[in-house]
Structure 1
Amino acid sequence: MKKIIHIIKHLRIPFSFFLLPVYLFALGISPNISEQGILFTFIILHLFIYPASNAYNSYFDKDEESIGLLRKPPPVTIGLYYTSLIFDFIGIAWAWLISADFAILVFIYGLASKAYSHPGIRLKKYPFIGWLVAGFFQGIFTFYMAYVGINNFGWEMSLSWNVLFPGLLTSFFLWGSYPMTQIYQHKEDSKRGDKTLSIILGIRGTFVFTLIMFLVATAGFEYYFLTYYSQKFAIAFLLFMLPTVIYFLLWFALTLKNEQKASFGWTMGLNFISAICLNAFFIYFFLQTSHLGQLDL
């Protein structure tokens, strides 16, 4: 029973909440929504594919110190490895019921996530490649994948600038925030020989880098909403993100005085506030831009 509990903890299903904004953004621009497309795509990604990735990476990382949502990670067993593969299989098989295109995209995402921690490849130990791949696949690729699943569109129909541009914005946001998720793991990563981007930047450099990338991403979102929608959404995005900005600047100021503040607790706090603000905005965006009467209820 204890091993099962450990496996469930390493799946880190609540962590999917942090990745939900990409799905909600894709949903907000989707023209062909249906109850099945929305529900099935959500379940496949957030309850199977993402947890499978978490479990797989936890098995090979064998972290002894804090990782996302786990302050004290339990020991890993071979059962965790097989569980990750089972979750992957279920997710891909279910995706195939939606479309072959969606299933292939889900399969590719799974391969990329495994390459991040598998000892034979371990992209995590390459600071710039790991950062680039993580932001690409969790951003624009996931956005595109969710769009294909939600709308049941083929690859060709979905390969348009109207889909790729907002997807690219999510990647810029993730490229900015990703080093912040590594800022408290310098000791653990260095012990394994993983030289992450945050280690190269240093603690202060990580904050500055994230701030610059956040400004670039925000400018991109403002341009997008003003160009494709209206000023209302451009202003709303800034207002919804204000608590995240305040938290980040306060944390940065405290860390300048004491680098011990670059801790697990503060990092998880930023993740939670950012996810809450982004999820709330994209739910608002979806409700404003869609007509729920389209749903086949």
Structure 2
Amino acid sequence: MLTAYRKALPLLRIPFSLYLMPVFWFGLSALRGPWSGARAAGVFVVLHLLAYPASNGYNSYYDKDEDSIGGLKTPPKVTPELLHLVRLFDLLAVVGAALISATFAVLVVVYLLVSKAYSYDGIRLKKYPLLSTAVVVVFQGAFTFLMTQVGAGALPAQLFEKTNLLLAVVSTLFLCGSYPLTQVYQHAEDGRRGDRTLSLRLGIRGTFGFAAVGLLAGAGALALTYWLRGEPRNILIFLVATGPVVALFGRWAWLAWHDAAHANFAWTMRMNQVSSLCLSAAFIAMLLWR
């Protein structure tokens, strides 16, 4: 029995969940005023080690992928034990969140329910390109940005301060640019399942064009907001830290534009890794250098 659970565990894709770290660090770096480091650490554990893996596993349970998926080049076969693990991680995420605060726990429950609606066959938001994209970029962007701050103990005045809300919107713009890129190598499998993802609708070239516009809009809005907050140093930190991301994206887009074979799993994972590390480094630097 334990062997079956060990085989199912990789489908939770815990290492892949760490690619979502930038929103966590972004949310903390944006806070002005008091917040709790201990609570923030708890938020990190709840989101990245419990809630996100539960969502990954639930998605895999219904997708039953045979080709590469985020973080797994060769995913194992889906078994009933995977759903057991998902339920366990769901429970641990909610209990852990409740130990931090009741409000944070409610937000985690909402996040988990929305992630289930994305994958569950009876609803399956994933098959609707615009709706699924809107749900993902809002809930993994602005919603998670603010949820992180709530969990860390931010006060309502901090949460609803105008520039903080603008930065929450920026996180959604960045997700809007990057999310279709995570689908660009899965067109064949998504098409077989009947999931008309945004990337599938846009095509490979359209996906890269859409991503460029979304990421550029996010960067512009970020710079403007930092300027309004009187934080020009953060603009410089962001530009320096994301230089490798821009270079890698440009190289990948050029290659894929001329040869669709480059819109593959290896390039997608490389882009995820570099962008996650660089953005996290930028926001951590902003957090520490105040």
TM-score by length of 1: 0.94
Matches for 1:7-46 after TM superposition, within 5 Å: 7-30=8-31, 31-46=33-48
Matches for 1:266-285 after TM superposition, within 5 Å: 266-285=267-286
Say whether 1:95 aligns with 2:97. Answer: yes
User: Any unmatched runs of 5+ in structure 2?
Assistant: none
Between the aligned partners of 1:271 and 1:80, the Cα distance in structure 2 is 25
The question of whether the paired residues in 1 share the 8 Å contact of 2:158 and 2:164 is answered with no
Between the aligned partners of 1:269 and 1:254, the Cα distance in structure 2 is 14
- Deviation of the 1:153 alpha carbon: 4.2
Q: Percent identity?
A: 43
Between the aligned partners of 2:121 and 2:283, the Cα distance in structure 1 is 37
Specify the alignment match of 1:247 in structure 2. Answer: 248
Amino acid aligned to 1:243 = P
- Deviation of the 1:109 alpha carbon: 0.3
- Deviation of the 1:161 alpha carbon: 2.5
Between the aligned partners of 2:214 and 2:9, the Cα distance in structure 1 is 34
Amino acid aligned to 1:267 = T
The question of whether the paired residues in 1 share the 8 Å contact of 2:245 and 2:275 is answered with yes
The question of whether the paired residues in 2 share the 8 Å contact of 1:57 and 1:117 is answered with yes
**CA deviation map 1:191-218 (0-9, x unaligned):** 0000000011000010011011111111
- Deviation of the 1:36 alpha carbon: 1.9
Specify the alignment match of 2:177 in structure 1. Answer: 176
The question of whether the paired residues in 1 share the 8 Å contact of 2:237 and 2:285 is answered with no
Moved more, 226-235 or 125-134: 226-235
Amino acid aligned to 2:173 = F
User: Any unmatched runs of 5+ in structure 1?
Assistant: 290-297
Specify the alignment match of 1:293 in structure 2. Answer: none
Between the aligned partners of 1:159 and 1:232, the Cα distance in structure 2 is 23
- Deviation of the 1:8 alpha carbon: 1.7
Secondary structure in 1 aligned to 2:92? helix
Specify the alignment match of 2:116 in structure 1. Answer: 114
Between the aligned partners of 2:191 and 2:155, the Cα distance in structure 1 is 43
The question of whether the paired residues in 1 share the 8 Å contact of 2:237 and 2:286 is answered with no
The question of whether the paired residues in 2 share the 8 Å contact of 1:66 and 1:264 is answered with yes
Matches for 1:1-297 after TM superposition, within 5 Å: 1-30=2-31, 31-151=33-153, 153=155, 158-289=159-290
Between the aligned partners of 2:214 and 2:14, the Cα distance in structure 1 is 28
Between the aligned partners of 1:71 and 1:94, the Cα distance in structure 2 is 31
CA RMSD, aligned part only? 1.4
The question of whether the paired residues in 1 share the 8 Å contact of 2:119 and 2:125 is answered with yes
Amino acid aligned to 2:81 = G
Between the aligned partners of 1:78 and 1:152, the Cα distance in structure 2 is 40
- Deviation of the 1:82 alpha carbon: 1.6
**CA deviation map 1:163-190 (0-9, x unaligned):** 3211110000001111100000000000
